[in-house]
Each structure stands twice: as structure tokens, then as C-alpha cells.
Amino acid sequence: MFHLELGKYRNIVLSIALFIFFDLAVLVLNFVISSQISNDALMINLAGRQRMLSQRITKTALQVEYRIRDGKPFGNELTEFKKASTVFDQTLTAFSQGGRTTSGTGDEVNLAAIEDPTAQGILREARDIWTPLITAAKSLTDNADIMQASQLARLMEAANLQLLKLMNDLTTRVEQIASDKATMLRTVQVTGITLATINFIIILFHFIGHLRRSDRELEHAHKETADILRTTQEGLFLLDPELKIGSQHSTALNSILGVATLAGADFIDILRARVDQKTLKTAREYLDLLLKHDVKEKLVTSVNPLNRVEMLLDQGPGKPETRFLQFAFNRVKEKGKITHLLVTVSDITRRVLLEQELKATEDRARGQLGMLMEIIQIDPFALHQFLRAAADGLQNINGLLRDQSEPVTGRSGLLRDQSEPVTGRSSLVNALFRQAHRIKGDAAALGMSSLADAFHQLEDLLSELREQPSLSGEDFLPVTVQVKGLFEQIETIENAVIRISQVRGVATVEAPRPQHDPNTAKLPFVQRWRDFANQIATRHGNTVEISYKGIDVATLPEGLSSAVNTIINQFIRNAIVHGIESSDARKALGKPEAGRLSIYISQNDDGSVELSFRDDGRGISVQRIRDTAIAKGRLTAEEATAWDNRRIVGLIFEPGISSHAAVDADAGRGAGLDAVAELVVRFGGNVRIGTTPNEYCHFRVHLAPRAIVEGPAAT
Amino acid sequence: MTEAELRIFIGIVQHYFEQQTGRLAEMGTPFLGDPNALPIFDFTGVIGISGNRRGCVYFTAPSEMLRQILVHGGESDVSRENLADLAGEISNTISGNARRAFGHEFMISVPIVVTGREQSISLPESVKAYVMPFRWREQDAALVVSVV
């Protein structure tokens, strides 16, 4: 079934249809009434003629009478009389019943009966008068005598005035009817035109207002769209089936793609200059798939070759820039048919670079973990030797780079004379390569593959420089950056070695836990340690608590027992003077008010003694020992810098090195721990130290049985 | 500081010389310098860097180079104040361009000008700095980048 979808135009179409209907109605009525008026005009004309014919009939009847009386021929008058009578009769019949009659021009016309009752009354009255007259008239012939003619003339004279009046009335009535119809026609016309005009005004005001509102809404919607396109940071545009970019697109698209004019441009042409051939071909196939084939959009999204594409964009003369862009395509359908593709372009360069950086960081972290694993497995001494050599080698490399920048003639400045031949820099590359290769070989020999790889990368950079016909200073920038990275890597390894040694220290310092005998804590020698500790603590304004677990020291051989006692006393003194903080400081650090000194002593099956002494004080300050060593002339500043932390900490066992600010009864002369060292050496043992700043200091002493059997050694 | 980032700083300096004097400043071989042994000439414009990374970048040049740049630009006043102003202008150019290039990564301060070699420049300790030597009309200058 035909269904006209007028939509929002329904009202305006109906209004115009109404307007046309009014106009047509007026036109039709005008036509009908006009034709009736035309008919009425004929009737008026014929009614007027009846009036004239009534006079002519009377006149010709009298002329016939006079002619007969005078004995003159009367044929023409008789013919005239009969013709007038016949026409009058026909017309009278046509008025009252309808029928044919002769018009003024002699043509036959067909008249409809007059329906007006008044006119019909006039006609009936006229018919009554006329009927005896026409009968008499028909009997008058060419042979008529004077009697017949006179009788007819008298009849005519007698009816003349009445018939004239009736025909006059008929004419007036017919004119009145025509006038009424003309009035009606004017009324219809005025009404119709008025209605049409009103309709037109309604159309004008209603629809102009409606159109204005629509225009405003359209303009508002257009502005919103323009605002979105101008403000969005993403590139938005439509692609037609010919892969041409639509007339409207977001402002950001120009800067994202680096193209000034995009409307109407060929998308493939834009891609061609910015991506490789393979990507271009795949992109074209993908777009063809989206536009022309009935495949599910979501299914093919995963194969979008432009989902993450690297593009080389021209950002001005000599400023090529690589960006990572993401193109998303969505079908635009109309009545189920794909008309366009909506394309969203995002600049994901920052995200991609962050991802790459994250990956590099993860790789570095993995590398560092691998490096740590490598370090753990290397002999500490060999590692130490290598790290020193590697650091020196890097210093040499950097020195070569710096020397290249210094003047040949000793003139102050940083650059060699520019007239120097390029061979100078070529020689530099070779010298750098030799250094790098040597350190790489040493690293590889130790099994430090990650460091060897880093030096290998430096070699790669230098190999590239070797291939260049001429070299500028700027060409060495990647080398310098790599050298800095290597310096940092060596430093990282050195720090890791220190931390590992600390961890190893703590792990190995932890003495084997002896069977706990609660009674040992009450033995006299433990009480003496407590008393001694309390005396020193009192002098230094702090408090300590001693806990002891282990063997009865009195059961040890005398020399060993005495040595253990001396060592413990020195450790107690050292801990209280240097380690344990004041009560207030400890509270501030969240530690118990009283410092804790934990002592463990055990004897192994071979007779050797393990001694562990731990305090929960401030730990050993490496920097303080370093400063003290310099201040007391034990080390030069260069040596202090060059020595690692482990070696620096070892200085506390040397005589004359005390970090205590003032000389007092308990410390300050640098003696004390050197006595421990002497005893340990004498008993052929060793000492290990573990410490963490502000947490603890832990000594583990091993006294060997060999020395016990053989007695005190000289060294 | 990556190689690409260093190239941005180098490009700013080279572009400045090319724009202002019509002659490119020749870059020498870059090397690493310890904080206590970095080149400092008569006038030094120092730019502080803070945020995710911290440290400083400075451009240091001798009076004679700055004097020649002023003369080349038609300036007859080559007083020390003017030389210092020029050092500040060069540093300001570096700072402004660096802010555009790195603004989203770290904060770059307004430069300050340090006169003479006696005044110390606060640099990150225990970090080797990149030293990029430049030569323009037989005069040496240096761009130093020390960022951790």
C-alpha cells in the first residue's frame, strides 16, 4: 500500500493543500455561477424580447386589420404577425417548461425551465392570457376577412397591456434572479479568497517561525559539531567508498598527520608518503574489507594494520619526526548500507615511548639481577681487581675524549685546532676501541656477560665511527653517552658488591646458637660484664642490658678464657662509647630506652671458639672512619676515596684510629679494638663485621684451636 | 640524560650562533667531567632543572667570545654588564627552547648568570657531567649538562 512519508513536512503540505482546495473551490463555484449568470443574461434578453414581441404581435395584428379594411395586400404583415406569435409562444413555453427557442441572433437555444416560483406564477398567468390569443392567431390565414382580422386585433388590444405588464414583470424577475446569483458569486469569491488568504498568512507565520526555529537548532547543532571538531585532541574524519577524506574533520587531524589541507584528499596518498609499502598494501586491503564486504566489524578489528603504526611526519624544513599513530575505523551505515567509514586517529607516541622505556627499564632490571647473580659467583678478590681496572680503563677512555678536545699547542681552550686532520679522530677511535676491547675481554673472562655486552655495544659504536670517512666532535656523542652508562654500571656493581659483603657478613656473623642454659646468664663472668657495662654506661649517660647465651667461659682453657673475656670487655666498651645512643635519641628512633648487648659464645668440636657480639646502636659510620683516617694522616684523601667501605671499616682495628671526638677514660686514643685484633691474630682467628646504620653492629670472632694448642703466636 | 635529549641542547646552542652570527659554532668531542673539574669561563649562564630529574645545565664562555658576538651584532657597548647580559640571553634561549622540548618531563628554571671562575656552581655530586665543547671564531666555550 502506498504510504506517503511526509515526516516533518506533513503540516506544511496539508496547509498548502488546503490553500489549493480553497482556490479550486472558488474557481469551480465561479465557473458554475458564471455559467448560470450567462444563462440568466440570455433569459433576461429573451424576457425583454417577449415584452417587445407582445407589442409587435399587437401592432402587426392591427396592421393586418387595416390592410384588409383598406383592401391592400397584407402578406408581409401576416407573416410578421405569425412569426412573432410563434417565437413568443415558443419562448413562453421554454421559460415555463424548458425547451428550445430562437435567440435574438436567429440561433436556436435550449432553455431550462425557470425554477423560481414567482417567475412561474407570472408565466402561468401569461400562458392563460396567451392561449386564446395563439389559438386565434393560428386561425388567421391569407384568406382572412375583415371580421376575423378585427376580432383578432381586438383580442390583441385587449390583452396587450396585461401581456406587456406580465412580460415586464418576468424580465424584472429574471433580472432579480441573475442579480441574486451575482451577489452570491461575489460572496463566494470573497469568502474563498479570504479563507485562502488566512491560510496563506497561517502558512507564512507558522512555518516561517518553524523554519527559523529549525534554522536556530541546526545552527546550534552545527556549532556544537564545530566545537567538538575544533577542540578534540583526536583526529576525526569520514572516508567515503573512494577513500577520500570528507569535507569536515577535526582541527587536530592536520597537526597529527602533518598535512595542511585534508578535505577531499586521498587517504591512501597520505599514507603512501608516511608508511612502508607492506603496511600500505595491508591497509588498503583492510579498508576494502570494511567497505565492500559483509564481514563483522569486530572480527576484523584485530587485523587492523593501522592500529599502531609508526609514521615519519614532516614537521617543517629539515624536521622529520617519527610518531606512533593509532587509526580506528567504524562503519557508518544508512538503511543497512555502508556509506562511510568513521576514522579516529590518536597520537599514541607518548604512550608507546613510555612502554618502550618501561620495557627498557625491565630489561635493565633483569640485566641487573643477572649481573648480581654473576657477581655472587665471582671470586671477590678477582672481582675487586677487575672493577678497579675497569674503572681505570673508563677513566682512560674519558681522558682520551677530553684530550681530543684540548688544544694541541697548550693554548687554553677545549678544542683542538680545526685544521687538525681527521686522522686525529680516527686514531682516537682506534685508541678507544683498544681500551674497550681489553675491558670487555676481562669482563667476559670473569663471566660478567652483561658488562661485557655493554662494552661490546661501545665497540659497535666505535666500529660505526671507523666506517665514516670524516668525523666531527658531535659524532662521538653516542660514545660519550655509552661511556657514562658504563661508569654508572661499574659504580652499581661496586655498590652491589659492598651490599653483598654486608649481607654475607650478617649471614656468617650469626653464630651457631648454643643450647640455651638459663643458668649461664647468672654465672659470675656474665655478672662482671654487666657491672663493667653499667659503669661505662653511667659515665656516658645511657643504660644497657646484657643478654648472654652460651657456654661457661670459665670452662675454657685459661689463655682462651682470658682472651674471650678481654675481647668481650673491649666490645662492651666500644659498643657503649660509639654505638649505643642516649636514652632520648633511642626513644626518638623507636628503640627500647636501654641499649641491648647480645653475646653468644660456643665451642666447636675441634675446640675452636665462636664468639658473637651484637649491639642495637647506631652502627658503624664508614664516612666518620674515613674522615678520621684522613684527619689523622692514616690515609690521603685520594686513598680514602679509592678504598671501598669494607677496607675502610677494617681501619677500626688499627691503633690510633678512633672516631670518638674526645679523649676520655673509655675511648679517644684509638686503642681498644686494636687489642682485639692483636688477640685474634695471636689465636690465629678472624673477625667479621656486619652493620646497618642506626640498627646494629655485629662482630663475629673465630678463635682457632691450632693456636690454642700451640700457644699464643707472634703475629 | 639520553643522547636525543643532549642533541636538543646542542641543537639549541648551534642554532643560536647560526641565527645571531651567521656562523655555526663547531662542536668538539664531548667528554665526561667530574663535578670539581668542569670548564668554567668568564661568564656562565646556569639553568636549574628540577622535578623528575634534577641538576643543571650551563653555558660558559670567555669574555672575548661574547665581545665578538656583540660587535658582530653591531653593538658598541662591550662592557662587562653587557657581556653578562649576553651570557644571560644565550642561557635564556637555551632555557626557553628546552622548556618547550622538555616542559612535560621536568621543570626548567630561569637562568642566572655567574661571573668569573671563583663563584661556585651548584652541581649534583658524584655524577659525571657531559661537557660539550664549542668553538666559534677561534674562541672556545662549553655547554655542560649535569642531570641525575
Over 60: is that where the pLDDT of A429 sits?
A: yes
Please tell me the predicted confidence (pLDDT) of residue A321: 67
Confidence of residue A501 (pLDDT cuts 50, 70, 90): low
Least Cα separation, residue B82 to chain A (angstroms): 23
Q: In this structure, what C-alpha cell is assigned to residue A669? A: 686514643
Please tell me the predicted confidence (pLDDT) of residue B118: 62
Which of A364, A471, A481, A495 should be substituted to probe chain B, the one whose Cβ sees the most B Cβ atoms within 10 Å? Answer: A481
- Asked if residue A332 lies in contact with residue A338, where contact means CB atoms within 8 angstroms, the answer is yes
Question: Considering only CB atoms, which residues of chain A are within 8 Å of chain B?
Answer: 398, 401-402, 404-405, 412-416, 418, 425, 428, 472-474, 476-478, 480-481, 483-484, 487
Chain B residue at shortest CA distance from A428: B29
The lowest-confidence range among A455-459, A512-516, B100-104 is A512-516
Cell 643450647 found at: A515
The lowest-confidence range among A397-406, A415-424, A543-552, B73-82 is A415-424
- Asked if residue A575 lies in contact with residue A697, where contact means CB atoms within 8 angstroms, the answer is yes
Confidence of residue B134 (pLDDT cuts 50, 70, 90): very high
Over 60: is that where the pLDDT of A61 sits?
A: yes
CA-CA distance, A336 to A393, in Å (whole number)? 73
Parallel, antiparallel, or unpaired: how do β-strands A595-603 and A686-692 relate?
Answer: unpaired
**Tens digit of pLDDT for each residue in B41-50?**
999 998 888 7
Structural domains in chain A, sorted by start: 7-207 (1.20.120.240), 235-347 (3.30.450.20), 361-509 (1.20.120.160), 518-710 (3.30.565.10)
CA-CA distance, A509 to A504, in Å (whole number)? 8
This prediction has a pTM of 0.43
Would the CB atoms of A405 and B32 count as touching at under 8 Å?
A: no
Q: Per this entry, what is the length of chain B?
A: 148
Chain B residue at shortest CA distance from A402: B31
**Which residue(s) pair with A167 in the sheet?**
none
Please tell me the predicted confidence (pLDDT) of residue B104: 63
Please tell me the predicted confidence (pLDDT) of residue B65: 93
Would the CB atoms of B10 and A474 count as touching at under 8 Å?
A: yes
Residues A43-70, mean pLDDT to the nearest whole number = 89
Would the CB atoms of A481 and B6 count as touching at under 8 Å?
A: yes
Contact status of B7 with chain A (Cβ, < 8 Å): yes
Over 50: is that where the pLDDT of A8 sits?
A: yes
Would the CB atoms of B135 and A415 count as touching at under 8 Å?
A: yes
Q: In this structure, what C-alpha cell is assigned to residue A307? A: 592500529
Please tell me the predicted confidence (pLDDT) of residue B67: 93
A94-115 b/e (C-beta count within 10 Å ≥ 16 → b): bbbeeeebbeeeeeebebeebe
Please tell me the predicted confidence (pLDDT) of residue A517: 61
Would the CB atoms of A401 and B29 count as touching at under 8 Å?
A: yes
Confidence of residue A470 (pLDDT cuts 50, 70, 90): confident
A656 backbone dihedrals φ, ψ, rounded to 5°: 85, -5
SS3 A335: coil
Least Cα separation, residue A371 to chain B (angstroms): 22
User: Which residues of B fall within a CB distance of 8 Å from A472?
Assistant: 26-27
Least Cα separation, residue B30 to chain A (angstroms): 6
Would the CB atoms of A415 and B133 count as touching at under 8 Å?
A: yes
Confidence of residue A502 (pLDDT cuts 50, 70, 90): low
Residue A182 burial (C-beta neighbours within 10 Å; 0-12, 13-18, 19+): middle
Q: Cα dist. A348→A272, A354, A362 in Å?
A: 20, 10, 21
Would the CB atoms of A402 and B31 count as touching at under 8 Å?
A: yes
Q: Which CATH superfamily, name and number, covers B3-147?
A: CheC-like (3.40.1550.10)
Confidence of residue A105 (pLDDT cuts 50, 70, 90): confident
> What is the C-alpha radius of gyration for chain A, rounded to an integer number of angstroms?
66
Greatest CA separation for chain B: 43
Over 90: is that where the pLDDT of A389 sits?
A: no
Would the CB atoms of B130 and A480 count as touching at under 8 Å?
A: yes
Would the CB atoms of B6 and A415 count as touching at under 8 Å?
A: no
Sequence-separated (6 or more) residues with CB below 8 Å from residue A45: A103, A104
Least Cα separation, residue B91 to chain A (angstroms): 20
Least Cα separation, residue A252 to chain B (angstroms): 19
Would the CB atoms of A473 and B29 count as touching at under 8 Å?
A: yes
Over 60: is that where the pLDDT of A2 sits?
A: no
User: Which residues of B fall within a CB distance of 8 Å from A477?
Assistant: 3, 6-7, 10, 30, 132
- Asked if residue B144 lies in contact with residue B57, where contact means CB atoms within 8 angstroms, the answer is yes
The lowest-confidence range among A120-129, A277-286, A315-324 is A315-324
Residues A682-691, mean pLDDT to the nearest whole number = 84
- Asked if residue B144 lies in contact with residue B115, where contact means CB atoms within 8 angstroms, the answer is no
How high is the mean pLDDT of chain A?
Answer: 82
DSSP code of A696? E
Would the CB atoms of A483 and B6 count as touching at under 8 Å?
A: no
Best-predicted range by mean pLDDT (A304-318, A363-377, B41-55): B41-55
Q: In what order do the strands lie in the sheet with A696-703?
A: A544-550, A595-603, A609-615, A696-703, A686-692
The lowest-confidence range among A639-643, B7-11, B140-144 is A639-643
CA-CA distance, B70 to B53, in Å (whole number)? 34
Please tell me the predicted confidence (pLDDT) of residue A5: 63
Would the CB atoms of B135 and A478 count as touching at under 8 Å?
A: no
Residue spans of the domains in chain B: they are 3-147
**Tens digit of pLDDT for each residue in A173-191?**
988 988 888 888 888 888 8
Over 60: is that where the pLDDT of B115 sits?
A: yes
Would the CB atoms of B3 and A478 count as touching at under 8 Å?
A: yes
Sequence-separated (6 or more) residues with CB below 8 Å from residue A452: A440, A443, A444
Contact status of B31 with chain A (Cβ, < 8 Å): yes
Please tell me the predicted confidence (pLDDT) of residue A409: 28
Measured distance between the N- and C-terminal CA atoms of chain A, rounded to whole angstroms:
121
Contact status of B26 with chain A (Cβ, < 8 Å): yes
Please tell me the predicted confidence (pLDDT) of residue A668: 43
Sequence-separated (6 or more) residues with CB below 8 Å from residue A94: A46, A100, A101, A110, A111, A113
SS3 A64: helix
Q: Which of A375, A376, A388, A382 is nearest to A641 (CA)?
A: A388
Would the CB atoms of B28 and A477 count as touching at under 8 Å?
A: no
Residues B77-98, mean pLDDT to the nearest whole number = 89
Chain A residue at shortest CA distance from B39: A414
Please tell me the predicted confidence (pLDDT) of residue A711: 41
Would the CB atoms of B142 and A416 count as touching at under 8 Å?
A: no
**Tens digit of pLDDT for each residue in A15-40?**
788 888 888 888 888 888 778 777 88
Q: Cα dist. B129→A462, A520, B57 in Å?
A: 21, 60, 9
Interface of B with A in 77-136 (CB under 8 A): 128, 130-135
Least Cα separation, residue B131 to chain A (angstroms): 9
Contact status of B148 with chain A (Cβ, < 8 Å): no
Which of B29, B34, B135 should be substituted to probe chain A, the one whose Cβ sees the most A Cβ atoms within 10 Å? Answer: B29
User: Which residues of A fall within a CB distance of 8 Å from B130?
Assistant: 480-481, 484
Residue A170 burial (C-beta neighbours within 10 Å; 0-12, 13-18, 19+): buried
The lowest-confidence range among A216-230, A301-315, A344-358, A424-438 is A301-315
Over 50: is that where the pLDDT of A708 sits?
A: no
Over 70: is that where the pLDDT of A404 sits?
A: yes
Higher pLDDT, A328 or A277: A328
CA-CA distance, A419 to A613, in Å (whole number)? 69
Over 50: is that where the pLDDT of A282 sits?
A: yes
Higher pLDDT, A520 or A251: A251
Please tell me the predicted confidence (pLDDT) of residue B6: 92
Q: Which of B148, B115, B146 is nearest to B38 (CA)?
A: B146
Chain A residue at shortest CA distance from B32: A398
Over 90: is that where the pLDDT of A43 sits?
A: no
SS3 B143: strand
Contact status of B5 with chain A (Cβ, < 8 Å): no
Least Cα separation, residue A471 to chain B (angstroms): 10
As a whole-number percent, the residues of chain A with pLDDT over 70 amount to: 88
Chain A residue at shortest CA distance from B2: A481
Least Cα separation, residue A398 to chain B (angstroms): 6
User: Which residues of B fall within a CB distance of 8 Å from A412?
Assistant: 140
Least Cα separation, residue A384 to chain B (angstroms): 20
Cβ pairs A/B, distance under 8 A: 75
User: Which residues of B fall within a CB distance of 8 Å from A474?
Assistant: 10, 27, 30
**Tens digit of pLDDT for each residue in A481-495?**
999 999 988 888 888
Q: In this structure, what C-alpha cell is assigned to residue B136? A: 666559534
Please tell me the predicted confidence (pLDDT) of residue A661: 46
Residues A190-215, mean pLDDT to the nearest whole number = 84
Residues B95-107, mean pLDDT to the nearest whole number = 77
